[in-house]
Amino acid sequence: MRVGIFLVAAGFPGRPQGRVLRDCVEAIEVAEEAGFDDAWIAEHHFMSYGVCPSAATLAAVALGRTRTIGVGTAVSVLSTQHPVALAEQAAMLHHLSGGRFTLGVGRGGPWIDLEVFGTGLARFERGFAESLDLLCRALERRTVSAEGEFFRFREVAMVPAASMRPVVACTSPETTRLAAGRGLPMLLGMHLDDAGKAAMLADYDATPPPVTPPPVTPSPAMSSPAPETGAEAGAATTRHAPRHVAAVVGHVADSTRAAIRELKAAMPRWLEPGLAGYVPVDGRRRPVRDVGEYVDFLTGVHPVGDAGRCVETIRRTREVTGLEHLILMVEGAGEHARTLENIRRLGAEVLPGLGG
């Protein structure tokens, strides 16, 4: 089983934003020392929920400071970027890191980013499939051209060329089927419990796979040890088992009660102002989440507790869903020293209990 960390670059009140970014890099260095397989970095614009506006840039710094750990973007927002430009960045990181970089992309939302960067609401609402297909071609071929609604240009050489495929963040049936139809692995979010994850994986498996998927060299997120046999493997023998990634909250303390109490005290200070940063690009109403209920949900269904509960929760997720790759959001306490302690304790007390 692959286990990584997930960094939102959370903008807790009172924390200087530049320091948050530097702390993320140190967290990835500590995760490498602690034995994690990879680290994934979120991207947000114009909000304190996450203060990293370029996950690829932060990934580049982290790759330069580490030697073995994989680093991915969770995610680079495709609706606000040119797919070929993003493919060029990914190819550079792929080559410079010796294949340790994984590109995760997502549709994003109908937020003000679309106005600021000039890509517009139409790219978000109906252009994601075209953007994703162009990105895949640019990552798989030595030349690329486009004749679509949103992108039109003559054939150009991809320099440097790479052999990569992205992971796709999926929060809706439409995006799930889009990823499945192209044979791309999914990244599932923290808002899902095990039943929700299993439902999306079943939807993915029910979508006919591509007839002739192009040969590529698997990225770290797309490869894992073969599933175990027997009852423990559970649903892991299905098509999705070795490919998809799911984000969960990961927080360990001396007792489950202490871990939950710590996150319930800290996370609302971050989430209340942070989630308010999602500003719609048009006049539509923004969905409002009850922060207290959300924290209750996160601490109830994810690996939050003493080491034994964390191991048990991760094992249950694997057995119910067949997932073999989880990434743990480790910043929930809101203090950098506690985040590093959390990473080290998860590495020392939880990872050994998960086996291979």
Segments forming the whole domain that contains residue 123: 7-354
Amino acid 315: pLDDT: 98
Question: DSSP letter at 238?
Answer: S
Nearest to 165 by CA among 189, 145, 183: 183
Amino acid 287: pLDDT: 85
Domain presence at residue 31: yes
Domain presence at residue 193: yes
Q: How many CB atoms lie within 10 A of CB 166?
A: 31
User: How would you label 86-95 residue by residue, b for 16+ Cβ within 10 Å and e otherwise?
Assistant: bbbbbbebbe
Half-sphere exposure of 83 toward its Cβ, with a 13 Å CA cutoff?
29
Task: Write the CATH number for 68.
Answer: 3.20.20.30
Domain presence at residue 2: no
Nearest to 269 by CA among 336, 334, 345: 334
Structure tokens that stand for 191 in this block: 């808002």
pLDDT, tens digit only, all 356 positions of the chain: 999 999 999 999 999 999 999 999 999 999 999 999 999 999 999 999 999 999 999 999 999 999 999 999 999 999 999 999 999 999 999 999 999 999 999 999 999 999 999 999 999 999 999 999 999 999 999 999 999 999 999 999 999 999 999 999 999 999 999 999 999 999 999 999 999 999 999 999 999 877 654 444 445 554 433 333 333 333 333 333 338 999 999 999 999 999 999 999 999 999 999 999 999 999 899 888 999 999 999 999 999 999 999 999 999 999 999 999 999 999 999 999 999 999 999 999 999 999 85
d(CA 38, CA 12): 24
The sign of the dihedral angle between the CA atoms of 289, 290, 296, 297 is negative
Nearest to 139 by CA among 168, 110, 107, 173: 168
Domain presence at residue 345: yes
Domain presence at residue 231: yes
Domain count, the chain: 1
Domain presence at residue 1: no
Residue in this structure with the two tokens 């694997």, named with its chain if needed: 318
Domain presence at residue 128: yes
Residue 307 contacts residue 353 (beta carbons within 8 Å): yes
Question: What's the CA angle centered on 100, arms 98 and 103, to 5 degrees?
Answer: 120
Which runs of consecutive H residues, i.e. helices, occur in the chain? 17-34, 55-65, 83-96, 113-116, 120-126, 128-140, 173-181, 194-206, 256-275, 291-301, 307-321, 336-345
Question: What's the CA angle centered on 350, arms 346 and 356, to 5 degrees?
Answer: 120
Amino acid 242: pLDDT: 38
pTM of the model: 0.92
d(CA 139, CA 147): 17
Amino acid 209: pLDDT: 77
Domain presence at residue 116: yes
Q: Which amino acid is at 271?
A: L
Structure tokens that stand for 72 in this block: 């991915």
d(CA 214, CA 35): 32
